C-alpha cells in the first residue's frame, strides 16, 4: 500500500527538490532533508554528488527536474544538464555509498504512438528535447550500476505550482466554454501519489536491492485531456462546456505524445503499489485548494 501519513522512515532520506510538486508532497509525508536550488543546483552535477556524500543518507529521491517542456526546445543544453547529467552524478554517488536512488522520469521518453499502454521495456523514442534529456538521465542512472528505481510517471497535478488542474479551475471560472485536446490520452497522476510511491519504493530497495529497475506509475483510468477537464469541472461545481479538439488545433513548440498510457503492472507485482484512482486523488486536491486562489 502507498503510505499517506507523515512518518519517519528510519535513517535520513535525502530529496533533491524543495518547492516542486512532488518535493513538497514528499516533505509533507516524511521527515526528509530536502535540498533546494541554493543547496544543490542541478546545473552543477558535481555539487549534487557532493551533497549526497556530505549527508550520507539512507536513500536518495530525485524529485527535481527541468520541466519546462516547450522551453527545452530552445534550451536543450540546460535541460540535458539538469535532467541528464545531474541524475547520473547523483546515481554514481549513491552507488559509491551503496544506497538506493529513486529517480522520477516521464512518459515523454516514448514516441506516443499506438494505443497500447507503454511497458518499462518498450523501445523509447522521445519526440523532443525534454524527452531526450530525461532519457539521457535514465541511461546515466542505469549506467552508474547502483541500486536504483527509475519511476516513470505522467500528467502530474497537485494543489501546488502550475498544472492542468489549477489552469482549468482558473479558466473554467472565467469562461463558459473551453476547447480542450481530446486525442492525447494518459493517466493523470497526483504529486501526492507519486511521493507516496517513491517513499515506499525507497524503503523496499533498502531491504531488497534486487528490486532495482525501471517502473511505471500513473493514475487510473486513462483519459483524454478533454475528459479530464470535464471531471475537474464536475467535481469543482463549475459550469463550463468542453469541446473536443485535436492536438493539431493547439500547436506547441514541443510535440506532445498522443499515447501516454502506461502499463504499471510491474510496479504492482514488485512493490505491491497499485495505480491510484485519479478521480479520488483529484477530490483531495480540490479540497486543499478551497479558500485559496488558483
CA pair distance 278, 285, nearest whole angstrom: 10
Tell me if 14 sits within 8 A of 60, measured CB to CB.
yes
CA pair distance 18, 38, nearest whole angstrom: 10
Tell me if 270 sits within 8 A of 215, measured CB to CB.
yes
Query: Which of 193, 208, 217 is closest to 266 using CA atoms?
Result: 217
Angle at which helices 278-289 and 191-207 pack, to 10 degrees?
120
Query: Looking at 66, 108, 130, 215, which residue is catalytic?
Result: 130
Is 130 labeled as catalytic in the residue annotation? yes
Region class of 98: left (phi > 0), else alpha (psi between -120 and 50), else beta: left
Q: Look at the block and give the residue holding cell 527509475.
A: 150
* Residues marked as catalytic: 130
Amino acid at each position: 500500500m502507498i503510505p499517506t501519513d507523515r512518518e519517519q522512515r528510519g535513517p535520513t532520506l535525502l530529496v533533491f527538490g524543495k518547492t516542486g510538486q512532488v518535493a513538497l508532497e514528499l516533505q509533507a509525508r516524511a521527515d526528509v532533508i530536502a535540498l533546494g536550488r541554493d543547496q544543490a543546483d542541478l546545473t552543477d552535477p558535481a555539487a549534487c554528488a557532493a551533497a549526497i556524500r556530505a549527508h550520507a543518507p539512507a536513500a536518495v529521491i530525485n524529485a527535481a527536474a527541468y520541466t519546462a517542456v516547450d522551453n527545452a526546445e530552445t534550451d536543450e543544453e540546460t535541460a540535458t544538464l539538469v535532467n541528464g547529467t545531474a541524475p547520473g552524478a547523483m546515481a554514481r554517488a549513491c552507488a559509491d555509498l551503496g544506497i538506493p536512488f529513486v529517480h522520477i522520469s516521464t512518459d515523454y521518453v516514448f514516441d506516443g504512438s499506438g494505443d497500447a499502454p507503454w511497458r518499462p521495456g518498450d523501445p523509447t523514442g522521445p519526440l523532443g528535447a525534454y524527452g531526450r534529456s530525461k532519457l539521457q538521465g535514465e541511461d546515466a542512472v542505469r549506467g552508474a550500476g547502483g541500486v536504483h528505481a527509475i519511476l516513470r510517471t505522467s500528467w502530474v497535478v497537485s494543489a501546488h505550482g502550475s498544472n492542468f488542474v489549477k489552469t482549468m479551475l482558473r479558466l473554467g471560472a472565467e469562461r463558459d466554454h473551453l476547447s480542450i485536446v481530446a486525442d492525447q490520452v494518459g493517466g493523470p497522476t497526483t504529486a501526492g501519489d507519486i511521493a507516496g510511491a517513491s517513499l515506499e519504493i525507497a524503503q523496499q530497495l533498502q531491504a531488497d536491492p534486487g528490486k532495482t529497475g525501471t517502473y511505471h506509475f500513473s493514475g487510473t483510468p486513462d483519459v483524454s485531456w478533454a475528459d479530464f477537464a470535464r471531471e475537474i469541472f464536475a467535481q469543482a461545481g463549475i459550469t463550463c462546456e468542453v469541446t473536443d479538439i485535436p492536438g493539431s488545433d493547439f500547436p506547441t513548440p514541443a510535440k506532445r505524445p498522443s499515447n501516454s498510457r502506461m502499463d504499471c503492472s510491474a510496479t504492482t507485482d514488485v512493490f505491491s503499489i497499485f495505480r491510484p484512482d485519479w478521480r479520488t486523488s483529484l477530490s483531495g486536491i480540490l479540497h486543499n485548494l478551497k479558500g485559496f486562489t488558483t
